[in-house]
Structure 1
């Protein structure tokens, strides 16, 4: 019996909802950009949270000021019952010094998972050290919690990059527990071998960026991601039943229009396509 996503309005602020512990169901909440809260196997995981204005401060009075198009739906120190925080790479909207220390301080038992290739940035931006920091390497499963296995996958943003020891700088994470699998690709574009690598993990749900690539941005050091149609193709190939499209609506120079995603939702067949929304609870349930 295949697990599928069910969408329901949260019906309260995300702040109020995340004060309470996980229910035991697989539940997914969007934090904006590539950030998600995933409750699974009674545990709470947070992936790539960007809940500050650190980039607006960094890029003030520049050609790309990084002004938010949407406010944070919750503050970093308002998410509780967190067991793991995962960062896919070291770009600030995924590994945010304005978010991670506050989030980890509010959850003193939580540990941080980050790519081994960016260990120094992870420690500097989060303050996590020693046993509180878990360094990930593509293809090497991690079992930091009972009943949960995390398999780091390679990501190309826009290229596959490794350090001198062969550790990938950009990762995705497949989160498996209780017979279900949620795959967050990290920032990524299509590359040879990606689909076969992930297909073997049998993801039920794919969380994929859809803001695409623009030559003028790439030439100025702003790498891109899957386009919406590329994300759909990847999700279909890896066998996911549902795709949550994200990484839009935060910075006006690097986004996809929600109307474009919604138009595709209206016509797509054979795949559950969902536009990430901060007011919606996504629950994974058996059909």
Structure 2
């Protein structure tokens, strides 16, 4: 598996049989020129995970790509007449030659009790790479790679550390960092407090690496 972190929650996963883009949002860059995608997976409707203004051009460049979204995002896409497929937790589907499982409880983490929760999909690609979206989903089996949320209005650093310990993957790649001026403090917490046997790897923006 080859991964490219394009900033914040946006990641390209190349399985060798499928090229998948996850969460092309407003805090990310570099995805706008991508071609040859088999699928675009959206975890939820927040603008830092889906830039609706840039999406049509991205789809036009990738006419064979399937746009897969959660139930909440689907309504926004219907209003804009953008073709898509709705998936919910518990479903498994294929794109290219890759298998994708939709995981999690189906809801975004609570930001504040006064803010209504929205739908959220986590995606597990080929049983290997987990993108949880904006919630701490602990999968039934340990993935090879956890794309680890670093900072957000809905999480504390201590909670992210506890999530890393609960999943305990061989490799953790911090994402969802754009809200921080300097994310290194959080990265150091992950490295120093993470479980034994887990490598925390900081992925420079736009640089491909093998898992």
TM-score relative to the length of structure 2: 0.83
Say whether residues 1:101 and 2:56 are aligned partners. yes
Q: Which residue of 2 aligns with 1:121?
A: 76
Distance 1:31 1:123 in 2: 27
Q: How large is the Cα RMSD of the aligned pairs?
A: 2.5
Change (3 A) 1:273 1:245: same
Distance 1:279 1:118 in 2: 26
Say whether residues 1:37 and 2:12 are aligned partners. yes
2:15–2:98 CA contact under 8 A, matched in 1: no
Q: Which residue of 2 aligns with 1:231?
A: 160
Say whether residues 1:205 and 2:134 are aligned partners. no
Higher relative contact order (CA 8 A, sep 6+): 1
Q: 2:21 aligns with which of 46, 65, 76?
A: 46
- How far residue 265 of structure 1 moved from its aligned partner, in angstroms, is 5.6
- How far residue 73 of structure 1 moved from its aligned partner, in angstroms, is 4.0
Q: Which residue of 2 aligns with 1:3?
A: none
Q: Which ranges in structure 1 are unaligned for 5 or more consecutive residues?
A: 1-25, 52-67, 160-167, 214-223
- How far residue 172 of structure 1 moved from its aligned partner, in angstroms, is 1.2
When the two structures are aligned, how many residues end up with a matched partner? Answer: 203
Distance 1:266 1:142 in 2: 34
Q: Which residue of 2 aligns with 1:149?
A: 100
* 4+ aligned runs moved over 6 Å, structure 1: none
**Matched residue SS, 2:74:** helix
**Bigger CA radius of gyration:** 1
Q: Which residue of 2 aligns with 1:280?
A: 207
TM-score relative to the length of structure 1: 0.63
**Matched residue SS, 1:32:** coil
Q: Which ranges in structure 2 are unaligned for 5 or more consecutive residues?
A: 112-117
